[in-house]
Amino acid sequence: MRPEDLPQTVEDYRRAAGAALPPATAAWLNGGAGDEITLRRNEAAFDALPLMPRVLRDGGSGDTSLTLLGTRLDHPILVAPMAWQRLLHPDAERALAAGATAQGARMVLSAQATTPLAEARGAGALCDWFQLYWLGREGTLALARRAADAGYAALMLTVDAPVAGQRPREMRAGFALPPDLSPVNLAGLPRPAAGSFEEVMAAAPRWADLEWLCAAAPLPVLAKGILHPGDAARAVAAGAAGVVVSNHGGRVLDGLPASVEALPAVASALAGRAPVLVDGGIRRGTDVLRALALGADAVMVGRPAAWALAVAGALGVAHVLRLLRDELRIAMAIAGCRSPRDIGPSLIFRQNPPEGCLTASSQAK
């Protein structure tokens, strides 16, 4: 490969994955719900947030580390749960786990993984959070126990997809799961009947179920897919160990705010009582910086890791995460931030601050 052909950015990986994957698989990976307004908005919202650097400050050493649910991490970039990774690379979740761990990135294994959870856990020390879809109380608890027995350290219950979203792009491309793919980790679990729409909705989780799971599960539970600050507060009151501000990468319901637009109100509702993560549209280190400035403790990337997995397996995943880490560190240094503690809302430039917002003088600390 010529140097000019090596991917240098997440965007390069997106293009390379588009060329490498069968068109129907690319449509499944890249597409979103409905007219894909939310999908586009997730990225556009980051573009629309200019950064306001501070100069001539003490340099520091570009510390990006943090403690998340009791574990020290080198940086705040996690890999989001993504289903069916064998569609992208034969080494699937094992490659993602190895690549993420090589770059100090925690990975969340999807409930719809194509690799047994113990095998994925063994492929990378930082593949240690497990995502759950609701399977009814008995099935969900049994799955949570399987994850705990395999050495996972936390669970992430996805709450924004009581039914599957409609994704016209993949429907037009004729995408269908190959018959030999199955959610291997769900085998043998009791599951509610899921035939008609009514049956699926009747089996969807409610607040009482989240509260029950947080009390019954052997591991801390984060709630993924929260946009409303009231829901965030309610999740923490129900016992959630953290929340993920997310619209599922624009894949479930179209017409939602970008997750980074919903983030500040959630962060202020929780006021540090529980960690706030955000995902959706993060494509550069500067986007990570923007998310931290608006109140996130950490971020998750989905498609960037999937594109890199499709292009170059574990090496690609490690490389794309390295790029994001480096971009974050450099952006922090140039913006005058020695560590995440220096990152706050005044890092976001506002031309006409609405009444009640920080003004230039109140930011001049």
Ligand X SMILES: Cc1cc2nc3c(=O)[nH]c(=O)nc-3n(C[C@H](O)[C@H](O)[C@H](O)COP(=O)(O)O)c2cc1C
Q: Which of 93, 170, 279, 327 touches ligand X by CB under 6 A?
A: 279
235 near ligand X (CB under 6 A) = no
Residues 285/263, Cβ–Cβ less than 8 Å: no
- The answer to whether 65 is annotated as binding is no
What is the spatial distance between Cα 95 and Cα 275, in angstroms, rounded to a whole number? 28
113 vs 270, beta carbon nearer ligand X = 113
Q: Which of 246, 292, 298, 343 touches ligand X by CB under 6 A?
A: 246
C-alpha angle 91-283-310 in degrees, rounded to nearest 5: 20
Tell me which DSSP letter residue 69 carries: T
- The answer to whether 201 is annotated as binding is no
Of residues 105, 125, 14, 9, the one with CA closest to residue 318: 105
Number of residues that bind ligand X (CB under 6 A): 23
Beta strands in 296-365 (DSSP E): 298-301
245 near ligand X (CB under 6 A) = no
185 near ligand X (CB under 6 A) = no
CB 283 to ligand X: min, Å:
8
117 near ligand X (CB under 6 A) = no
Complete DSSP assignment for 124-146: -TTEEEEEE---HHHHHHHHHHH
Of residues 333, 324, 334, 291, the one with CA closest to residue 7: 324
Residue 269 belongs to what H/E stretch? helix 259-270
Tell me the residue nearest to ligand X as measured from the CB: 302
Which residues carry out catalysis?
Answer: 248
Candidates 6-14, 69-77, 170-178, 242-250: pick the segment binding ligand X (CB under 6 A): 242-250
Binding-site positions read 81-83, 110, 131, 133, 158, 167, 224, 246, 248, 251, 279-283, 302-303
Binding site for ligand X (CB under 6 A): 29, 42, 80-83, 110, 112, 131, 158, 224, 246, 248-249, 251, 279-282, 301-303, 306
